[in-house]
Amino acid sequence: MANPSRGPIAISGQVGITGVFGDPVKHSMSPAMHNAAYAALGMDRVYLAFHVTPQHLPAALRSIPALGILGVNLTVPHKEAAARMLKHLSAEAKLLRAVNCIINDRGRMRGDNTDARGLERDLRALGVDLKSQLVIVVGAGGAAAAAILACTRTGAMRIAIANRTHTRAVNLARRFSSLRVHLDARGLDLLTDSAILSDAALVLNATSMGLTTGTFAPLDYAATSSKCFFYDAIYRAEPTPFLREAIALGRATADGAGMLINQGELAFELFNHVAPPDGVMGRALLARLGRA
């Protein structure tokens, strides 16, 4: 609903447009983050949320060069489909078989993926030391693929993938068999295997458990070492179901707000050829989450 107290929005005739395609998209935090950076930089640009259904994705992609849109992010459920539709993909998007941003490079659409780089930057900022360590990644979808790449780059020696559908975990481990990391594929039973849990330096939730469901799978938190870090790709105002018990046990934890901020900052730079001012996108997200 319109908010009359906000007054007129100043948009010039030559405003540069960026945005996000998703279905659903109205709850996306990206417009708040990107528009805060435009305001801080005084740029004549705007970032909009476009509700694009899977059926309309091909037409929406064609509209990017047609309308001179500078770049778009892609969110659920378009990341994999867009990777199949675009001719030009970065090496990272090819590896992840998913695109989370498209850059309009003078009419040429280039698909990239900043999710793994975003998570890697967040893990480093949090001081999570994975050198020669064991990581447990829960999930086998797009976020899990990004997590495997990020953890490998931060030095993990072994990654155990735990997923509800075991065959998806096996397929993901096969896809990344060329990486310099040892990959095991298991079912969710791994989360009660105290021998593995006690060795883990990081347990990372890359499923939607806790978002779509009110609870997380059974996990033997007490079997983990006191130095084990718990990271949830999901972000929200309060601690997620996955993190609650880890927090109660005094383990170090973080949710996916940092990953979202970092992937957004990287995409901003790709779209606008200028880095966002330090902290602006993060503060905008935390304010939207009610955590500022």
Active-site amino acid positions: 79
Q: For residues 25 and 206, which CB has a smaller minimum distance to ligand NDP in the complex? A: 206
Binding-site residue total for ligand NDP (CB under 6 A)? 25
Residue choice 111, 241, 256, 282 for contact with ligand NDP (CB under 6 A): 256
| Residue 99 binding ligand NDP, by CB under 6 A | no
| Residue nearest ligand NDP, Cβ-based | 141
Which of helix, strand or coil describes residue 253? strand
Beta bridge partners of 49: 20
C-alpha span between 183 and 177 (Å, rounded): 7
Q: For residues 109 and 285, which CB has a smaller minimum distance to ligand NDP in the complex? A: 285
DSSP 213: S
| Residue 263 binding ligand NDP, by CB under 6 A | yes
Q: Which stretch binds ligand NDP (CB under 6 A): 2-10, 139-147, 178-186, 277-285?
A: 139-147
Question: How near is the Cβ of 113 to ligand NDP at its closest, in Å?
Answer: 10
DSSP 117: H
Report the Cα–Cα distance between both ends of the chain, in Å, rounded.
25
With contact defined as beta carbons under 8 Å apart, do 100 and 114 qualify? yes
Residue bearing tokens 């990004």:
146
Question: How near is the Cβ of 262 to ligand NDP at its closest, in Å?
Answer: 8
Q: Which residues contact 213 (CB under 8 A, 6 or more apart)?
A: 241
Q: Residue 74 to residues 30, 41, 147, 247: CA-CA distances in angstroms?
A: 10, 24, 18, 32
C-alpha span between 176 and 157 (Å, rounded): 13
| Residue 147 binding ligand NDP, by CB under 6 A | no
Residue choice 260, 267, 270, 284 for contact with ligand NDP (CB under 6 A): 260
In this structure, are strands 108-112 and 101-105 parallel, antiparallel, or unpaired?
antiparallel
Q: For residues 22 and 71, which CB has a smaller minimum distance to ligand NDP in the complex? A: 22
Which 193-252 residues touch ligand NDP, going by CB under 6 A?
Answer: 206-209, 211-213, 233-235
Position 220: which residue type? D
Residue choice 69, 83, 96, 115 for contact with ligand NDP (CB under 6 A): 115
- Residue 44 burial (CB count, 10 A): 13
| Residue 163 binding ligand NDP, by CB under 6 A | yes
| Residue 259 binding ligand NDP, by CB under 6 A | yes
Residues in contact with ligand NDP by the rule CB under 6 A: 115, 139-144, 163-165, 168, 206-209, 211-213, 233-235, 256, 259-260, 263
